[in-house]
Amino acid sequence: MSTAGHVRHVLSENPVTLVASAMFVMFVALALFGPWIAPYDPLASNAAVALKPPSAAHWFGTDSLGRDIFSRVIVATRLDLGIAFSAVLLSFVIGMPLGLAAGFFGGWWERIVARGADTIMAFPLFVLAMGIVAALGNTVGNIILATAVINLPFYIRVARAEANVRRSAGWVEAARLSGNSEARILALHLFPNALPPAMVQVSLNMGWAILNAAGLSFIGMGVRPPEPEWGILVAEGAQFIVSGEWWVSFFPGMALMLAVFTFNLLGDALRDIFDPRRRT
Amino acid sequence: MTQPPLLEVKDFGLEFRTRGGTVHALQGINLALHKGEIVGLVGESGSGKSVLSYAMLGISDRAARVTDGSATFGGMDLLQADERTLADLRGREISMIFQSPRTALNPIRQVGLQIEDVLRRHAAARGPDLRTSLRERAVQALREVAIADPERRSRAYPFELSGGMCQRVMIALALACRPSLLIADEPTTGLDVTTQAAVLDLITGLARERQMATLFITHDLGLAAEYCDRIIVMHAGHAVESAPTKALFTRPRHPYTARLISSTPDENSRIDSLAPVPGNLPDLRRNDLPACRFAERCERAQDRCRSERPPLDAGAGHATACWHPLHAAEPAHG
Amino acid sequence: MVEPILRVEKLGKRFALAGKRGVLLHAVDDVYLDIAPGESVGLVGESGCGKSTLVRVLARLLDATEGRIVFDGQDLAAIPAARFARLPQRADIQMVFQDPTDSLNPRYTARETIAEPLALLSGLRGAAATARVDEVAAQVGLAPELLSRFAHQLSGGQKARVGIARALAVKPRLLILDEPTAALDVSVQAVVLQLLDQLRRDLGLSYLFVSHDLNVVRLLTDRVAVMYLGRIVEQGPSEALFRAPQHPYTRALVSAIPGQGPRIRLTGEISSPIDPPPHVCRFASRCPNMQDRCQREGPLLTDAGSARRVACHFPVTAAAAA
């Protein structure tokens, strides 16, 4: 079965997968084209229409400065997804090779890497992220770095486990007989086999990373206002919930929830796409 | 045999419902096992031999559905019995020895305790001091399978024992409650040749001594020839031949049996004298399987073979399920 | 006398035990073995005898602790395993593995599996590689449409053929077969054995055929060596050796084959391969013929006539067996 056929098969097999994929596509589209889709300028304030409930003119209502919440939520997608994606990519690119090498070569190398990962995991991860951002400064770059660091152990673990199991497999020995150097075996043989479980991790991590970035912003340690970002938007609306203007927090919160939901569901689908054993 | 069979399977059919289609795993199986008999169930992978034995014990995969036939043990209907009755039966009346001893034993429990578990489950020991009596019975069970220093070994964990030892422990486990029927599913796969011989000598020795009916499942014809009174050959879910051992090897009647025998090397074989079975096992998910499932691989096949399934009569001395067997049936002996 | 293609001299492999200093596990000791061009030599023994280790040292996947592996006049043991993987000589010695499922990378198609050594060792890529893959696939009887499949989409026999094709693709001179049919059904095994026999004759290969199944070894080999606890205890022409084994261990092994009549039972504990005393026969603890001398002097592999060599002080010859 061809790759395209296989992807189609995976998507159609399970309706949940299909829904998750559709939502994923929607979010990516919003991230890419947000600013052009948004009906209003997300930064334009208009005191006259402050704190208006959802209506035909403002689907998600307006906030305390009269800005259209719908536009702000849409535009925020780019930042949230962008931060999460960069952080996960960074974690993956550093964590996978470290973990693979640790599991494959064993010995001192494995001990150092494993202890390093354990050290990171020993901290409550959100607190660690807060600490890193507090130490390095409140910039988007640092949020990405902090999120990447706290996600590192997941990739190290997955890769290390895979490498450990597979390094005594017959096909690793056969690869040596075929003329592969150890480095080639790691990169071209072990790494592709470690991808399917890593893919699930990637997806779950994306959801987690979004939540993490939003969380940091919510407590004021992340992205600075007036930049629209879901966490900030929720924070901005928090004070109005009690007074009855529920929509200011609600819609950004929903967006956050749906995004994390989508990525969580996507995990299994991604793994199935990447694992040739699922092909019939 | 004048006494009624201990295990009787009649026209048994089973299928698996899977996402990839329905697998017609077994069809029209007839089998009769008497007390004290050692019967070999021989077949290659995919022949259904393990599936059949699991179905007897009621431990088939959840996707399995019995399509026809009956299976009775000592007159009791195995297929209709509820889980509770079957659970009581397993270990006490019918026991099974599995293929990989190390994986079939609980890795985090001492072997002596595992035997005690079986004894306790079937309330095989009674008396005021239950713990001691259970422990003694477990050690005795280990002694009966020729494990040296059974007291000490009973406190060992499976990973501390060699493959052959683990298999002996499994035999002890299976035989602890003196079952009347033993199913041994490829008990020596993965064991060395000398250990294999010792384990099989043990199993068959105990079987003879206790007059236990034994179903010995294997893909190794040589082993079956050495240890079994009677052999049933299976192919693609059908039982194709059933005969006393000597008769099977001297005059095999089914073409598949003949090919199987000729592709098994023995001390007189030459590389060019091996005549393997042509073709491949048919895919049991097909709905257009020929009635005789060997038809597509058989040089003697004719139209009738594809449309009408040849029956196997388990009662006759040397029975075969073939419209054009290699030898004619012998006249029935009394 | 034809110059052997492979000459193994005093090969030893010892492993250090974790946590214990100076204590060594003797996996392979004092092995001498010759393989002539076009010859098929069998290696038999039970688990723990060291044949897997020996074979991996010979295939240069492991480094030897001592000894020489002379191939084409060059001592391969002197080249570290890691470096050997990238030398052109890597193509001369190839291996077929026991478990076809385990020896194929699940993410590679059959074609990619067979093509990989071509690219790395023979420098063949693109059209030339495709042609060679097709050629060797035809040689092993692998239908062309199977080449685009993954391992899990192939049957046991087909996977075995892929493994053989991969080994043959780079035109090796010596093929080491580590129980190549152990995981296969009897009828598939017969087909693969006939294929291996045919290939050897057609391509002029030498085989080192490792198996626990003595009947199979008897079929496919000219000579056979029997290993016990890291040492070769008997060696000689296959047919003669199986018909009239002289070493007590070989006799027990042959008697354990179903249908071979009365079984010689081995009782006693297996001696430990850890720091074994050099002046004691390693089989002494289980040998039915054990005598005083066996505990004082380790037997060496000595000539017993008719190209047979036995490492025993009291081999069972035809006269003695009567």
Q: Does C61 touch chain A (CB under 8 A)?
A: yes
Q: Are strands C231-237 and C223-228 parallel, antiparallel or unpaired?
A: antiparallel
Contact between B10 and B70 (Cβ < 8 Å):
yes
On average, the pLDDT of chain B sits at: 87
Which of A70 and B280 is assigned the larger pLDDT? A70
Which of B209 and B133 is assigned the larger pLDDT? B209
- Stretch C243-259: mean pLDDT: 89
**Sequence-separated (6 or more) residues with CB below 8 Å from residue A4:** none
- For residue B50, tell me if it sits in a domain: yes
- C-alpha distance from A198 to closest chain C C-alpha (Å): 15
Which subunits count as partners of chain A given 3+ CB pairs below 8 Å? C
Q: Tell me how many domains chain A contains.
A: 1
Q: Which residues of B touch C191 (CB under 8 A)?
A: 276
Q: Tell me how many domains chain B contains.
A: 1
Statement: the pTM of the whole predicted model exceeds 0.90: no
Q: Which residues of C touch B265 (CB under 8 A)?
A: 190, 193, 213, 215-216, 218-219
Confidence at residue B127, expressed as pLDDT on a 0 to 100 scale: 60
DSSP C2: P
Helix, strand, coil shares of chain C, percent, nearest 5, are 35, 20, 40
Q: Which residues of A touch C120 (CB under 8 A)?
A: 178-180
Confidence at residue C65, expressed as pLDDT on a 0 to 100 scale: 92
DSSP C264: -
Q: Does B197 touch chain C (CB under 8 A)?
A: yes
Reading the block at residue C146, the tokens are 């199977």
Q: Which residues of C touch B163 (CB under 8 A)?
A: 47
Question: Measured over all CA atoms, what is the biggest interatomic distance in chain A, rounded to whole angstroms?
Answer: 76
For B71, list phi and psi in degrees, rounded to 5.
Answer: -140, 120
* Distance, CA of C190 to CA of C192 (rounded, Å): 6
| pLDDT single digits (tens) A73-126 | 888 898 889 999 999 999 999 999 999 999 998 889 899 999 999 999 999 988
Burial class of residue B254, CB neighbours in 10 A (0-12, 13-18, 19+): buried
- C-alpha distance from C88 to closest chain A C-alpha (Å): 9
Whose tokens are 């689908």? That residue is: A269
Confidence at residue C322, expressed as pLDDT on a 0 to 100 scale: 44
* Distance, CA of C190 to CA of B272 (rounded, Å): 10
Residue B331 has pLDDT above 70, yes or no: no
Q: Which residues of C151-167 are buried (b: 16+ CB within 10 A; e: fewer)?
A: bebbbbbbbbbbbbbbb
Confidence at residue A1, expressed as pLDDT on a 0 to 100 scale: 52
**Sequence-separated (6 or more) residues with CB below 8 Å from residue C111:** C130, C133, C147, C148
- For residue B15, tell me if it sits in a domain: yes
Q: Does C53 touch chain A (CB under 8 A)?
A: no
**Domain C6-226 superfamily per CATH:** P-loop containing nucleotide triphosphate hydrolases (3.40.50.300)
Q: Which residues of A touch C121 (CB under 8 A)?
A: 178-179
Contact between B5 and B33 (Cβ < 8 Å):
yes
Confidence at residue B316, expressed as pLDDT on a 0 to 100 scale: 62
Contact between B253 and B325 (Cβ < 8 Å):
yes
Residue B247 has pLDDT above 60, yes or no: yes
Q: Give the domain range for residue A245.
A: 3-278
- For residue B49, tell me if it sits in a domain: yes
* Distance, CA of B40 to CA of B203 (rounded, Å): 13
Q: Does C214 touch chain B (CB under 8 A)?
A: yes
Contact between C162 and C23 (Cβ < 8 Å):
no
B149: left (phi > 0), else alpha (psi -120 to 50), else beta? Answer: left
Q: Does C306 touch chain B (CB under 8 A)?
A: no
State whether C194 and B219 contact (CB < 8 Å). no
Residue B2 has pLDDT above 80, yes or no: no
State whether B276 and C216 contact (CB < 8 Å). no
User: Residue B59: pLDDT band by 50, 70, 90 thresholds?
Assistant: confident
| pLDDT single digits (tens) C158-185 | 999 999 999 999 999 999 999 888 888 8
* Distance, CA of B95 to CA of B178 (rounded, Å): 9
Which subunits count as partners of chain B given 3+ CB pairs below 8 Å? C
Q: Does C16 touch chain A (CB under 8 A)?
A: no
- C-alpha distance from A163 to closest chain C C-alpha (Å): 13
R_g of chain A, CA atoms, integer Å? 22
Q: Among C156, C216, C263, select the one facing B197 at the smallest CB separation.
A: C263
On average, the pLDDT of chain C sits at: 89
Contact between C265 and C271 (Cβ < 8 Å):
no
Q: Among C212, C213, C215, select the one facing B267 at the smallest CB separation.
A: C215
State whether B260 and C186 contact (CB < 8 Å). yes
| pLDDT single digits (tens) A19-67 | 888 899 999 998 898 888 888 887 888 888 788 888 888 888 888 888 8
State whether A170 and C95 contact (CB < 8 Å). no
Q: Among B163, B226, B269, select the one facing C219 at the smallest CB separation.
A: B269
Whose tokens are 């249908």? That residue is: C259
* Distance, CA of B86 to CA of B59 (rounded, Å): 9
* Distance, CA of C3 to CA of C73 (rounded, Å): 10
**CATH assignment at residue B63:** 3.40.50.300
Contact between B294 and B288 (Cβ < 8 Å):
no
Confidence at residue C111, expressed as pLDDT on a 0 to 100 scale: 94
Q: What is the 3-state secondary structure (H, E, C) of chain B?
A: CCCCCCEEEEEEEEEEEECCEEEEEEEEEEEEECCCCEEEEEECCCCCHHHHHHHHHCCCCCCEEEEEEEEEECCEECCCCCHHHHHHHECCCEEEECCCHHHHCCCCCCHHHHHHHHHHHCCCCCCCCHHHHHHHHHHHHHHHCCCCCHHHHCCCCHHHCCHHHHHHHHHHHHHCCCCCEEEEECCCCCCCHHHHHHHHHHHHHHHHHHCCEEEEEECCHHHHHHHCCEEEEEECCEEEEEEEHHHHHHCCCCHHHHHHHHHCCCCCCCHHHCCCCCCCCCCCCCCCCCCCCCHHHCCCCCHHHHHCCCCCCCCCCCEECCCCCCCCCCCCCC
Among C94, C105, C113, C177, most A C-beta atoms within 10 A, so best to mutate, is C105
The SS3 of residue A62 is strand
- For residue B193, tell me if it sits in a domain: yes
User: Residue B301: pLDDT band by 50, 70, 90 thresholds?
Assistant: confident
The SS3 of residue A80 is helix
Q: Does C91 touch chain A (CB under 8 A)?
A: yes
* Distance, CA of B305 to CA of B322 (rounded, Å): 8
- Stretch B11-30: mean pLDDT: 89
| pLDDT single digits (tens) A205-261 | 888 899 888 888 888 887 777 788 888 888 888 888 888 888 888 989 999 999 998
Tell which C residues from 232 to 291 touch A, by Cβ distance under 8 Å.
none
The ipTM, to two decimals, is 0.83
Q: Give the domain range for residue B17.
A: 7-93+179-286+298-320
- Stretch C49-72: mean pLDDT: 91
For B92, list phi and psi in degrees, rounded to 5.
Answer: -100, -50
Please report, rounded to a whole number, the percentage of residues in chain C having pLDDT higher than 70.
98
- As annotated, the residues of chain C forming the CATH 3.40.50.300 domain(s) are 6-226
Q: Does C272 touch chain B (CB under 8 A)?
A: no
| pLDDT single digits (tens) C3-23 | 889 999 999 999 888 777 888
For B292, list phi and psi in degrees, rounded to 5.
Answer: -95, 115
Please report, rounded to a whole number, the percentage of residues in chain B having pLDDT higher than 90.
33
* Distance, CA of C215 to CA of B305 (rounded, Å): 35
Confidence at residue B268, expressed as pLDDT on a 0 to 100 scale: 78
Q: Does C187 touch chain B (CB under 8 A)?
A: yes
Any idea what the Cα angle at residue B265 is, between residues B260 and B268, rounded to 5°? 120
Confidence at residue C35, expressed as pLDDT on a 0 to 100 scale: 93
For B277, list phi and psi in degrees, rounded to 5.
Answer: -75, 125
> How many angstroms separate the first and last alpha carbons of chain C?
35
Confidence at residue B334, expressed as pLDDT on a 0 to 100 scale: 41
DSSP C274: B
Total residues belonging to chain C? 322
- For residue B133, tell me if it sits in a domain: no
* Distance, CA of B164 to CA of B198 (rounded, Å): 9
Burial class of residue B228, CB neighbours in 10 A (0-12, 13-18, 19+): buried
Q: Does C208 touch chain A (CB under 8 A)?
A: no
Nearest CA in chain A to C100: A170
For C311, list phi and psi in degrees, rounded to 5.
Answer: -105, 80
Listed ranges B17-21, B78-82, B250-254, B308-312; the one with the highest mean pLDDT: B250-254
The SS3 of residue A198 is helix
Residue A189 has pLDDT above 60, yes or no: yes
Residue C319 has pLDDT above 70, yes or no: no
